[in-house]
Structure 1
């Protein structure tokens, strides 16, 4: 036996910039994604999807296809393995998993068959030749405010109530000197990570071995075991590298289920991968929203009433509610305070979590309404927010576990040059361009989930940490290495962190801005105990000395507070009134988001979030055809996202804001950058043009239409 010792005080890794440990592998092609895992006798599957928006499958004519070259099997509702019907997964009851289990077609793009062949080309050709006939039924994909089928759901995500009420909103509105009553809409949006969803499944010695592109290997493995009636210990899932997710890879998806079905039937490895077009119907999306905000205030801008109602769409398969109105529950107080959600079930794919669920569309509506209130009151938008800064949670009444929102605005205003801003809209020009600036607040809750981690002192003096974390491009692998190194009091090059293996035990997935916080907590506790044992002289055997942590008790003991990250967003835009073109010239985000582990990757995350908000404000919009029920722009040619030419100089920084109840002080940064950025851009467009845009995206045609309407109003006012 040997004794592993630390080298004494070393330069702390946390708080300093470190390049991604897997960066070289990714840019050289050495990193293996789910579709890269090899296997002997690997077969390939192709998903055939429904071409009708509602109805039943009358027949699947698979006989001719089975005779095609290389075809091994055609799975459909008549012959596919049976799945657990009353499946309750990580995120609750989920009937979207019931693929090939019945003849019902709930939307265009629903999986109706899975063709397996020797090569992906053969599988695709056969799937496209497969003849499926339907008994089509009338459908409704038309999301609109006032839809007669809208209803109030029983519960939102995470058990939150769909409605909150405090005081008398109507009375407070009636007694207000200034009232804003505005309606907002946001478009259907799609995740579109760079890596399409893929999985490879095979049976090996009685164990199901799976490589999947998932944000949570442990949760996905357990859900998969339940669906197929397997012992959880018999499912081994790895997700070594993930090329983005944004929420779309947070749960079991059809490609994985179908790969497992096929390998079970054929007895050989099967790979399934989605096309870009299929990702518009098989992995979820952000629902469109229709929101109404009513604000009532005194002449100085102090709120008396705040009402935020939000309508979103769900599917007939499974209820999912975009919780847009929850944003204001922790942001602004008023004597009369009401938030209400409603939802309408349409013949569309089931929406799901998408980066900053609820807060992204909700902040657009409320932060734009706050800006409009400031205009009507003749008060600076930042000053108005300061006058309405709550001392406790507006709805919960709980104290804040740190709230440096106004500090973010103060620092942001200084850096952005806000003090020199002429508040009048439509007066600043740069040649043909109208120029304006806008601001908005950001907030995203800070939470943690239980996790387990193992830290091992190796006989050679190095250390290995194992945890079922996921790195979906966030730099989690690097951050966890830094955290472990500091707790072990060694340099990061002596620590190896292994992640994304379901055998490592329970750990929260990469989502909800809680990944690194939840994993880091477990890693810190395991590393701390290991260091303490070594300091007491514990010997290291040849196979290493291992300590395991479990944070379940520590996380459950968190004191009740309003826990949030905060931020202030600023944007400058230029608008061409002749063409309607909008150019975002610069953006600034100042955040109070807990302790920053790795400034390099943190800046990347926050900047990426702000770009997402810019894209939401100006570009992203899935368009559904009422006749077919399908998305007509289901590719990167028609579904517009911000490209390099659309992204301006973006400055990101943060204030010191550790969470006192977290051993590391982390709050989470994955989503806060997206919240409020679309509103900042929209508010800047108003400042540039004098016209409020309440429908996203703010396309050139909408700019031109609004400009024409404004001219008509001006002419009418002069008559």
Structure 2
């Protein structure tokens, strides 16, 4: 057992309440748009009403005449910007030239910010913004993916090389199917709208509260785009009210607020309206074509999977969409394709489980269709084609308890009572359907740093420049640090959301616990070493002849493992040393290189469909998850519940509708962009399957933020087919499609 191994009393694995919970429920947690100071100005964004063209003129005279208006900012009077986007590296997954608001007179999409009106208060700013008039030279636009498929080009993504001969295998297969699935645009819509409060300092530096999933990413953006010294820009994001990927890159309210602050040398806040939350990144509209071939008994012989996704004309946005079809099931003949269709729209953006949400939906619906065609139970088909290795990479998995997910989920759900025939199960006037799907997500780890500091009174402060977007990062990192140092959680504080703290990656991809948590653990291990050195130097030290590996840190003490009565209180050591501090820079262990790493799930869904009305109710969901070590089951369960709810919304409700004649979204509000409410959600059961993994990272954690949504929409769609006998291949599955 090493120096940082934990005894059974460790807080790891316990359902600890949120340490930041009291601040949130009492309104003391403040978000980006809630930090005030005297003389703060407010900005209101004026958005484009055309989808493509040029601005001929912007008349702000009427707005400037309104008492209290301080500035009408346009591309004609903005401050100097860096000449091109190559001067900084944005840390998200989009490739190309990220748009800069007010850069020039080009209009690239409907809703593009073209002016900012800054005034003494928000009401004046919004009124004055309505008085700004813009004259355009409109150009022909295209916003319809289907109409522009002939303009598709290969996506700049690293796809696995084809293996075997999929075309020949399809021709020789005893059974083959060819299918197409369509997915709409979806928007993130976190509860907290995007906002930036730029507090202009006397020395010209900027203290910025930003809605972001990465303070250092926003800092880097502002620093490079506005040609500022790094020490002149500090980004804070102590609390983030949901993001789901929308905060992975700086959104346009940040540069607009910075521009206004630099021009006026005043503090400025810009908050986007709910309608403007539909004017940046989103999950892209996508078509997917799959062909599956199998033997008479259901053994997969061939898979081809082609995706066609929209992107902007100025940036190719790519995700891992089709790779899952090459790894989730064993198949020796696979060809994968991915193409982009450039349109007059803004660039898409990562949204919860990006790529997997879409790609696994198509694959898992296709597997259900193959099971039906082969007259095999859908679960049995998946077990028959179980993959022990990731064939895309040619590597075994570090751990994979997917079979246990299938078994435990099926038992809890009662899957063995499912009849094979569609429309064969009823509850009164309702048709009952049972469907299932597999989920998968990468178990990633990125380099991260953390600092651990023990004060003279024995309190431990650990810090890293990550964020907490509602996932429980404050709490989980507190647990990891408390466990590592053998302290009660009440004696530990975790600091985050500050660009001046040790380096951390963006919070996303389910890798925060694996990345930052590993750094926290290593920083505490380094601090243990410093404490031990001091303890050895104390007069009559009981550890004089010991080595660190013989010592454990438990209950606020250093003590010998073999003789626990030989102990020293950490407070006693600190009394001799004074405060101690250590920092760790963690990175993935080289032993990961030999393995594939992934989180897996099995989702079982029951739907009830009114035979006369076609109304759909998701009455029951069982989601069984294998995600390595679960640091906090309460937080993790909440993450899975949220993912399941979102998956139900994806299957039945979510869709951003666009008027292609105008190139403009029609339902850009929470009144008309439909998402599930409490009445839509019934029984959801979450099972965490035991999975031990000493390869993925020192904590053995794989993360659960993304896996909860993957596979849910396909399980719902499969259940609807089982209930009705109607196969709907276009989401969302609404009444009109079912009737």
TM value normalised by structure 2: 0.91
**2:707 matched to which residue of 1?**
672
- CA 1:463–1:231 in structure 2 vs 1: closer, same or farther (change >3 Å)? same
CA contact (8 A) 1:66 1:72 kept: yes
**1:342 matched to which residue of 2?**
339
Most deviating of 89-98 and 597-606:
89-98
CA contact (8 A) 1:13 1:486 kept: yes
Q: Kindly report which structure 2 residues correspond to 1:312-331, keeping only aligned pairs within 5 A, or say none.
A: 312-331=309-328
| CA offset digits 1:297-344 (Å, max 9, x no partner) | 001100000111111000112111343212212212322101100110
Deviation at 1:471, TM superposition (A): 0.6
CA contact (8 A) 2:458 2:574 kept: no
SS in 2 for 1:148: helix
Match of 2:662 among 628, 636, 645: 628
Deviation at 1:224, TM superposition (A): 1.7
SS in 1 for 2:70: strand
Match of 1:577 among 599, 604, 611: 611
Deviation at 1:95, TM superposition (A): 3.1
| CA offset digits 1:450-503 (Å, max 9, x no partner) | 111000010011110111111101011100000000000111011011111110
CA contact (8 A) 1:10 1:489 kept: no
**1:717 matched to which residue of 2?**
none
CA contact (8 A) 2:60 2:131 kept: no
SS in 1 for 2:514: helix
CA contact (8 A) 1:332 1:390 kept: yes
Matches of 1:560 and 1:140 in 2, distance apart? Answer: 46
CA contact (8 A) 2:439 2:707 kept: yes
CA contact (8 A) 1:218 1:505 kept: no
Matches of 2:147 and 2:362 in 1, distance apart? Answer: 15
**1:376 matched to which residue of 2?**
373
SS in 1 for 2:679: helix
Q: Kindly report which structure 2 residues correspond to 1:392-431, keeping only aligned pairs within 5 A, or say none.
A: 392-431=389-428
**1:95 matched to which residue of 2?**
97
Q: Kindly report which structure 2 residues correspond to 1:536-547, keeping only aligned pairs within 5 A, or say none.
A: 536-537=533-534, 540=574, 544-547=579-582
| CA offset digits 1:257-281 (Å, max 9, x no partner) | 1111111111110000000100101
CA contact (8 A) 1:53 1:628 kept: yes
**1:589 matched to which residue of 2?**
623
Deviation at 1:540, TM superposition (A): 4.0
**1:223 matched to which residue of 2?**
221
| CA offset digits 1:219-254 (Å, max 9, x no partner) | 221122111112223211100000000000111110
Deviation at 1:555, TM superposition (A): 4.8
- CA 1:152–1:480 in structure 2 vs 1: closer, same or farther (change >3 Å)? same
CA contact (8 A) 1:439 1:570 kept: yes
**2:52 matched to which residue of 1?**
54
Whether 1:208 and 2:206 are equivalent positions in the alignment is yes
CA contact (8 A) 1:575 1:685 kept: yes
Deviation at 1:93, TM superposition (A): 5.2
- CA 1:556–1:190 in structure 2 vs 1: closer, same or farther (change >3 Å)? farther
Structure 2 spans left out of the alignment, 5+ residues:
536-572
**1:716 matched to which residue of 2?**
none
Matches of 1:550 and 1:233 in 2, distance apart? Answer: 22
SS in 2 for 1:537: helix
**1:86 matched to which residue of 2?**
85
SS in 1 for 2:315: coil
Matches of 2:232 and 2:301 in 1, distance apart? Answer: 58
Matches of 2:667 and 2:7 in 1, distance apart? Answer: 57
SS in 2 for 1:271: strand
CA contact (8 A) 1:313 1:321 kept: no
**2:640 matched to which residue of 1?**
606
Most deviating of 197-206 and 529-538:
529-538
Whether 1:253 and 2:251 are equivalent positions in the alignment is yes
- CA 1:318–1:144 in structure 2 vs 1: closer, same or farther (change >3 Å)? same
Matches of 2:242 and 2:222 in 1, distance apart? Answer: 21
Q: Kindly report which structure 2 residues correspond to 1:256-275, keeping only aligned pairs within 5 A, or say none.
A: 256-275=254-273
CA contact (8 A) 2:148 2:341 kept: no
| CA offset digits 1:65-88 (Å, max 9, x no partner) | 211111101111111113222243
Q: Kindly report which structure 2 residues correspond to 1:444-523, keeping only aligned pairs within 5 A, or say none.
A: 444-523=441-520
Q: Kindly report which structure 2 residues correspond to 1:132-151, keeping only aligned pairs within 5 A, or say none.
A: 132-144=134-146, 147-151=149-153
Matches of 1:394 and 1:425 in 2, distance apart? Answer: 34
SS in 2 for 1:290: strand
Matches of 1:700 and 1:209 in 2, distance apart? Answer: 50
Deviation at 1:556, TM superposition (A): 6.1
- CA 1:289–1:201 in structure 2 vs 1: closer, same or farther (change >3 Å)? same
Whether 1:548 and 2:583 are equivalent positions in the alignment is yes
CA contact (8 A) 1:86 1:93 kept: no
Matches of 1:557 and 1:224 in 2, distance apart? Answer: 37
Matches of 1:543 and 1:236 in 2, distance apart? Answer: 30
Deviation at 1:94, TM superposition (A): 5.2
Match of 1:658 among 688, 692, 698: 692
SS in 1 for 2:310: strand
TM value normalised by structure 1: 0.94
Question: Number of residues paired by the alignment?
Answer: 691
Most deviating of 337-346 and 529-538:
529-538
- CA 1:194–1:555 in structure 2 vs 1: closer, same or farther (change >3 Å)? farther
RMSD: 1.6
Structure 1 spans left out of the alignment, 5+ residues:
1-5, 705-719
Deviation at 1:392, TM superposition (A): 1.6
**1:695 matched to which residue of 2?**
730
CA contact (8 A) 1:172 1:335 kept: no
